[in-house]
Structure formats: C-alpha cells, structure tokens
Structure 1
Amino acid sequence: MLNIHWIDIVIVVISVAFTLGAGFYFAHRQKSSDQYFSGSKTIPAWAIGISIFATLISSVTFLAYPAAAYKSNWILLVQGLMVPIVLIGLVWVIVPLFRKVIRLSTYEYFERRFSPFARLYSSVAFILTHFSKMGTVLYLVSLALATLTGIDVTTFIIGLTIIIILLTLLGGIEAVIWMDVIQGFLLIGGGLLCIGILLFKSESGAGFMIDEAFAMKKIDFGPYDFTFTELTFWVLVINGAFYALQKYGTDQTIVQRYLTAKSDKDAKKAAYIGVFASVPVWALFMLIGSLLFVFYNTGGAVLAEGLKSDQVFTYFIGTELPIGAVGLVLAALIAAAVSSLDSDMNCLAAIGVEDFYQRFNPNCTDKQRLMVGRLLVLFSGIAMLVVALLYAAWDGQGVLGVVFKLYAIFSAGIVGIFMLGLFSRRANKKGLHIGIFVCIVFTAYAVLTTTEINDSLILDFGSYNFPHHKYMLGVYSHLIVLVVGYLASFLFKSEPVKDELTIYGYFKLKNK
C-alpha cells in the first residue's frame, strides 16, 4: 500500500534509537530489585501520570477505536468515560492504602486481608490476562506496520520484541516511565495530525465534516435501550464502572506506578493526570473513525473495495498522509505498542518475583531477586513473541480464544475480592473462598453456554443459556464474589481485621 519515503524511515529509526538509548541510560542505576521495580521515588507526579496514560493507551486504542467508530459510533467510549467518575470517588483511599500496606505486589493486599490463596488466585489472573493481551497488541501493531510497508509481519514481531525486551530489561521501571512520557506525547501528536488532515483536507471544511459526523450518527453513544442482552449505553456504563475499579484498584501496571511516587499526594495527582489525559485521547481516536466515515462517504476520497472497517485507518495513513507525516504516525503507532508492553513486562516480572519466587525462596538475597526479575522480563518477552507468531501463522484467526475463555473461567471476580476486603470488616477468608468457587462455576456456565464450536454451542441448555451480553459476564462475576462472599462469611467465625486494611482505617486516621 505504501512506498515509504526515506524521510519517514529516518523518523521511525530515530524514534526507535531514542527508545533503546533510554534503556542503556538507566541501566547503570539498576543496582537493586527495589530500584528496578519501584524506581528512585524521585520521579515527578506529572511524569508518572503521563506514564499511566501511555500504558492505558495502547496500539489497540490506536487501531481499534477508529475502527469501532467507523463501523458504529462512540458507544465503546462510554466505558472510558466511567473511569474518571469512579476514580474521583475512590482514589483518595486506594492510593494511601496500597502505599501503606504493600511492598510491591498489588496482590499482597489480598493476602493480608484474606489469605495466600486470594493472593495467588489474583496473581495468576493478572498473569494470564496480560500474557494474552501482550501477544494480541504485538501482533496487531506488527500487522498494521506490515500492511503499510509491505515487509513481512514476522519481521516486525521479532524486531519490536527485541526493542521492548532491551528497554525493559536494562532500564527497569524508571526507563519505562520516562519513555512512556516521550511516547505518550508522540501518540497524541500522531492522533492530532490525523485529525487535522481529515478536517481540512476536504474542500467542504472542518465544520461540514463535524456536522456530517453528527448527522450520520457517527458521534453518538446509543442505543440507549435499558436491556442487558445487547451492547447498549447502559451495559457499558455498568461495565465501565467495574473496569475502572479493576484497572485502578487491582491492576499491577497501575498500582506499581503509585509506589514510584514521592508521596501519597503525588501518587494521587499522577492517577488524576493519567485518567484525565486518557479520556480526551480515547475520544480523539473515536473522532478519527467518525471523520474517516464522513471522508470516504461524502466524496472526500475513494475507498478501495473489499476493505474491512478495521483496515480503513491503515489505508488512510498509507494513501492520504504526506511525506514526514507518515513517519510520525508510524513512530506513534510503535510508541503506543512499546509504552503498553514495556509496562506489562516489568509488572509481570515484579509479580513473578514478589508473589512466587520470594514466597518459595524466603531467604533469597536482593541480588537474586534482581537477577530473577530480569530473567522473568526476558521470559515474558519470549512468551509474547510466541503468542504473536502464533497469531501470524494462523492469520489472526482467534488463536487465543481458548486462553481468553480459560481466563474468564478461572480469574473472574477480582474486583469483588477487592471491594469485599475494602468495604467489609465482617468478610473472612472462608466466606471469600466460597464466593470465588461459586463465581468460577457461574463463569464456566456462562462461557460454555455462549461459545460455539463448528456452529454449535459447547453446552446448550436452551432457554437456560446465559442470556446477556458478554460484557455483563465480568460484572456478574464481581458481584457474585462480593455478595456470596459476604453472606457466606456469616457462616464462619471471623478474626479481627486491622482497620488499615479497610476503608474505615482511612476515616479513623483522617478524624484524628
């Protein structure tokens, strides 16, 4: 589709070289495992906030949001709009809680509040979901680059893996955060450039483009029917609230950022910056998709026949952007992948060291922790590479479908565990374990009665199959753990719970 000009190649090469340079620059500072995973605690709040933003805005956002808006409207943005609402309500207690009661792993809180099983269950859930996500992100960005350049997708998969491993392996969390800052601004620049060209390339002008997007209902959040069987505004409102809780209260990639800040105040400020930067950028890429639809359906340009909605943005980049702009957008696309994947790799290594290696080797030295952490970064990078190559070998046809289903079955209800621990003094480990068991059984039922193989459901109970949209499955799983876990706790004697592990501890300290 695209014969890249040498100027575009130079822009991309400089961007990649700068990324690798950051890894080498910070390499000499990584003398301890705390430094490697938590940094020097001298990173300013604004930088941590931009790093949170860059972690949330992956290349999936760069590619999938325009495709979603082009195909439908902005309904998927509703999930993101719920994040600041939930965050404002809870960040004031979440941040000091984690900074006080955990050393590094988010899931240490679950052990201190409930049991080692709760910690290991949550850790495995995080590991499974992020391994699946990493391979998907790497494949998608490599496929887009291959489509634009004509170079084989495998070349990009291997090349990007090497870059991301080197950055994360050498520089630790400090290199990850500072490169996220650069890559975050690059991502914003790439999106704004595409918006500018779409708005002003048409002879009708920017006002016409926006008016037509509204008239064609490409800037809309419907349908607004109050039903859970279809993807509606209300389904995503509810799903988005739990997504926000899961991301900011139980996800290691975000919680680990809280620990790198100098103080609770800086950590809270970083969380706000990350969220309030993310929402406008999510909207920016939705707007790109809406304008692409107007651009290709009102005579602005001719779209090649046979293209799917998720290929239109790539086609636009390859055929409409001028020399130099193409290089900037390609660099932004790579930056979006790097800023998400380097965070995942560092956090997976942190979880591996803290929740597993140190548990089974309690007398290990800090030097051993650091060595194992780096080995786990390398291992996670190789695993990511293998998953992406599987996608390439199967032309992206759902290779990880089974993995996603297993994750849904065995890792559901994490937010329920978190809410149960935070808001209830009465909840205990035996009650929680019953809640998790019921949640796993329910999730297995829901997945198996909605998953088809060769056009037939794995389990078919007729009218008793899971009736609602798949986005509601996660919501129900969290609620089951919360409600069943709480009620089942009354069947067992509860040990006294330290107030510092609940929201009541925050209020007690505040009122002193």
Structure 2
Amino acid sequence: MSKITGGLPILDLGIIVIYLAAMILVGIYFSRRNKSAEQFTKASGLIPGWAIGLSIYATFLSSNTFLGVPGKAFGGNWNAFVFSISMPLAAWVAARYFVPFYRSTGEISAYTHFEHRFGPWARTYAVICFLLTQLARMGSIFFGIALSLQALTGYSMQLIMIVMGLCIIIYTVMGGIEAVIWTEVVQAVVKTFGALLILYLILINLPGGAETVIETGRRANKFSLGSFAPDFRESSFWVILLYGFFINLNNFGMDQNYVQRYHTAASPQAARRSIWLCVVLYVPASLLFFIIGSCLFAYYNQHPELIESIRHQVALERLPPGSSAEAVTALQQSLEPADYGDKVMPHFMVTKIPAGLVGLIVSAILSAAMSTISSGMNASATVFSEDIYQRYFSKNMNDRQRLRLLYVATTFFGLLGMFAGVAMIGVKSILDVWWELSGMFAAGMLGLFLLGLISRRTGNHAAMTATAIGLLIILWMSFSHLLPETYSELRNPLHKNMVIVVGTLGIFLAGLLFTRLYGARKATRKHT
C-alpha cells in the first residue's frame, strides 16, 4: 500500500478527505435554508427530539473522550468514570427544572435572563465565563485531534489544526445550528462504531483476549473507581462524583451548547427526552472508552519494548532540541504511565491497525472533535451576537445584519479555538487540562445562576457581593499552588476538581447570607 510522506496510507488519507468533504457538503446543503438569524440559531424549532438527543450525545463524546479517557484508564484506573455515573442526577434536575425555565423565557441566549434578574453586569459576567469555557473546550479538542493525527501522518500539529479548523468553520458558518445537529447525528453513529472497532482490533491482537485484560487489570487495580474514604484532597470517588454532578449541572443548565438545543425542539417534552437519550447513550459509551484504555494497558504490558519507544518519543518532545542522549535517557526512565497515556492509542493505531481501517477510525476521531467544536462555535457566536454586540453596540439590527454578524462571529471563534489548541501543545493530559479549566470558568456562572433561580429575594447588591467573594475563592483555589514554599500553609488543600464545587456553593451560600443581611438592614431602616 503506497503511503504519503508521514506514513499514512493513501487509502486512509482518501477516506479522511471524503469524510471532510462530506461535512462541507452538508453545510452547503443546509445553507439554502439559512435565510434568517432565527433559522441559523434555532432551526425554527422543528428538530425532532431524538436528533437533538443524539446531537447532545455527540457533543459530550468529544475527542477528549476518544483520546483522553483511554489515556486516563491506561495511566491510572477507572476513577474518572464516576463523572459519567453522576450524569443521571444532573439530567433529572435539568429535565425537571431547567428545560421548562428556558422554554418559558423564549430567549435563545442562556444568559439574557441574568440581566432581567440582577442587571447588565451579571449577564456580561456569565457570557465571559461561558466564552472562556468554550475556548478551553475547543482548544483541548483541537490539541487532542492534532496529537492523534501527528502520530499517523507526521505533519505538524499546527498544520493539522488549521486544515481541520477551516473545514469546521466552512460547514458551521454555511449550515448554522441545523447543519450542526444533523452532522452530529451522523457523527454520533460514526464515533460509536469507531470505538467498537478499536476495541475489537485490540482484543484480536492480544493473546488471551478479554481474559488477559481482566487478569492484568485486576492485578494492577485498573478497575478501581477511586477511594471511598471521605478525602477531598485526592481524586477520590466522592471528589469526582461531586465534580461530575456540578459540571453536568452546568452543562445541562448553563451551557449555551445545550440550552440552544432545547429551543430547536418542537416541544418541552421533546427537549426533556433529548436529555435522557443523551444520558442513556453516553454512560455506556464512556465505559467503553475506559475498557479500551484497560485493553491497551494489557496489550502494552505484554510488549514493554513498545512502551520504551513511546517513552523515548515523549522524552524527545519534552526536552529542548539538541539535548544530550543522557538527558533523554534520564527523562525517559522517569516517566510514569500517566505521563504518556494520551500517546498510547495513536501509537497502537499507527502500528497495528490495517490500512483502510485507520481512515475509518481517524474519521471517527475527527467526528468526535468536529461535533463539539462546531457546536461550540455556533453557541459562542450566538451568545456574542445576542449578549454583547446587540446589547452594547447595535440594538436595532435587521435580520440580514444579524445573520451576517453570526457568520463573522462563528468564523472568529473558530479561529480563536485553533489558537487555544496551539497554546495547549505539550500538556500532560488532555482530560486533566479540560477538567481543570472548565471547573474554574464554570463555577462562577453556575453559582450565580442557582442563586437567581432558587432565591427569589436576592437582589442586585447581594448577588454582586456574593459573586466577588466566589471569584476570590475560585482564584485562590486555582492558583494558590503557585505560592512559594514559605507560604505553603496558604495553599488550597483540596483537589483541583473541587474548585467548581466550592466556587459554586461559595457564591450561592454567600448570596443567601447577604440577602438576609441586606434584608435585615432594610427592615431596621424602615422601623427607624
């Protein structure tokens, strides 16, 4: 089989090119319907619930799951699967309370109601938090797919991000939310099939098959969900459960990617069903990727020479060019499985998957990346248009001007996502960096949202004070590890995934406290 320069067979390259071209053609097809801003952002509310559910599932099942989850399972255990276990409870809250709330407002933006509740500052603050979260998400996904394709093709990560990013921008700009949803329906099927194919190929290359995986994993404690002790300083079962509940509550209740889909449904009932369809599909799908990681661990456990090859490559990447052989060897020997877990699946694809199938699997990984990035671009453009530009710069835009603005904003945020991906080159774990950044940015807006939804008495001043306190807590928990050793007692003792838990509760509880204090002060003034 002839190959291109980087080592990817031409057949596989052809499959990937056909897939990318098909996505662009989808955008062209739906572009004929995008004659208004409402069609671009809501698809006129005519998308069936099952399609929305598959779309949300596809957004959850990003390339962070495809590459990051097997990497975590390879380098550690199944502790991160507790995140998925927390989804049903968050989905119940969202279906019961959030969907009716958003459908009743009629606002396409998830953040417009912040201004109605607390004033313009709250709306702007929530939008900034959301846009930072989206840049972190898109950047981590761009980096993850570039990491995989670089191992296959030899091309630079920057070039891979640019080519893929341009394809995503074209079909997202042309097709709007309708193209995003329907391509995600296809991508949901493609990426699930790709995961099953990877699992099958690992097992047929592993002597003993599933029995070897179970035995090897049992000896290495690979199936552990983490410690059940009430310890919030380490990544225990309870830390990930709390993190998962709060981040999924943010996803279903605050993330424009999902809230916007509630408006595309024909009815509130269809929107609720879409949430539950996502949960029913995602929980077993995420388990599948942990199984893949454990299978890879068993396979490479039988081939230590391949592990040394991966460790050597990671050492070369982390050291400056021209480093001595001794320095490379020293770093190589110090690396732990968690340091190179994200590299294992791309390495397996390069060395063990036959020509033709590689193209299918890469297309599945591409679909995992493209679905999340395209929805992030569309959601970011919608929020920027509704909550920033039309709010502060041009309130009386006609429909054609709004549609043009959405096109420009979608392109802009796609380019920003690419730059964020380039900035992440060299991070240790895709999943870790995404979880850390998302927890940091989401904590502030989720706490404020819950405060406004639950406490009807909380006013502008109480909410602003609580948010300021919550921000200080979030900043301290996120960056206190940078304090010098002299001030080590001032560092955050909790695990970094507790940022969203403590930050959210900090804003919510402080808001309730200041509501009572301000209320008591007003009552005192009235009586005097």
Provide closer, same or farther for how the CA distance between residues 411 and 191 of structure 1 changes in structure 2, counting only shifts above 3 A: closer
RMSD: 2.5
Note the C-alpha offset of 1:16: 0.9
Residue of structure 2 equivalent to 1:479: 505
Return the match for 1:369 from 389, 399, 402. 402
Residue of structure 1 equivalent to 2:351: 319
Residue of structure 1 equivalent to 2:320: none
Return the match for 1:414 from 435, 445, 453. 445
Is the 8 Å Cα contact of residues 137 and 438 (structure 2) preserved in structure 1? no
Residue of structure 1 equivalent to 2:464: 433
CA shift digits 1:406-440 (9 cap, x unpaired) = 98777642222222222222222221111101111
Residue of structure 2 equivalent to 1:466: 492
Is the 8 Å Cα contact of residues 83 and 243 (structure 1) preserved in structure 2? no
Return the match for 1:443 from 444, 461, 474. 474
Return the match for 2:290 from 286, 291, 311. 286
Residue of structure 2 equivalent to 1:256: 260
Higher mean C-alpha deviation, range 237-246 or range 164-173? 237-246
Note the C-alpha offset of 1:304: 4.3
* Cα separation, 1, equivalents of 2:64 and 2:471: 28
One-letter amino acid of the structure 2 residue matched with residue 340 of structure 1: T
Is the 8 Å Cα contact of residues 67 and 311 (structure 1) preserved in structure 2? yes
Provide closer, same or farther for how the CA distance between residues 406 and 207 of structure 1 changes in structure 2, counting only shifts above 3 A: closer
Is the 8 Å Cα contact of residues 79 and 237 (structure 2) preserved in structure 1? yes
Is the 8 Å Cα contact of residues 295 and 301 (structure 1) preserved in structure 2? no
Is the 8 Å Cα contact of residues 49 and 269 (structure 1) preserved in structure 2? yes
Could you say what secondary structure the match of 1:491 adopts? helix
CA shift digits 1:445-465 (9 cap, x unpaired) = 22332136xxx46xx633232
Is the 8 Å Cα contact of residues 412 and 474 (structure 1) preserved in structure 2? yes
Note the C-alpha offset of 1:473: 1.6
One-letter amino acid of the structure 2 residue matched with residue 483 of structure 1: L
Provide closer, same or farther for how the CA distance between residues 240 and 391 of structure 1 changes in structure 2, counting only shifts above 3 A: closer
Provide closer, same or farther for how the CA distance between residues 411 and 463 of structure 1 changes in structure 2, counting only shifts above 3 A: same
Note the C-alpha offset of 1:273: 1.0
One-letter amino acid of the structure 1 residue matched with residue 474 of structure 2: T
* Cα separation, 2, equivalents of 1:262 and 1:434: 39
Provide closer, same or farther for how the CA distance between residues 387 and 241 of structure 1 changes in structure 2, counting only shifts above 3 A: closer
Return the match for 1:70 from 71, 74, 79. 74
Residue of structure 2 equivalent to 1:24: 28
Return the match for 1:333 from 346, 353, 365. 365
CA shift digits 1:17-70 (9 cap, x unpaired) = 110110000001111111001113221111111110111111111111000000
Return the match for 2:178 from 174, 191, 215. 174
Provide closer, same or farther for how the CA distance between residues 403 and 312 of structure 1 changes in structure 2, counting only shifts above 3 A: closer
Note the C-alpha offset of 1:206: 2.5
* Cα separation, 2, equivalents of 1:96 and 1:315: 46
Return the match for 1:359 from 358, 383, 391. 391
Residues 1:310 and 2:342 aligned together: yes
Alignment of 1:193-232 (within 5 A): 193-232=197-236
* Cα separation, 2, equivalents of 1:70 and 1:423: 41
> What TM-score do you get using the length of structure 2 for normalisation?
0.87
Return the match for 1:40 from 26, 32, 44. 44
> What TM-score do you get using the length of structure 1 for normalisation?
0.89
Equivalenced residues, count = 486
* Cα separation, 1, equivalents of 2:156 and 2:387: 39
Higher mean C-alpha deviation, range 325-334 or range 412-421? 412-421
* Cα separation, 2, equivalents of 1:405 and 1:339: 22
* Cα separation, 2, equivalents of 1:131 and 1:137: 10
Note the C-alpha offset of 1:197: 1.7
Return the match for 1:186 from 190, 194, 214. 190
* Cα separation, 2, equivalents of 1:169 and 1:16: 15
More helix by share: 2
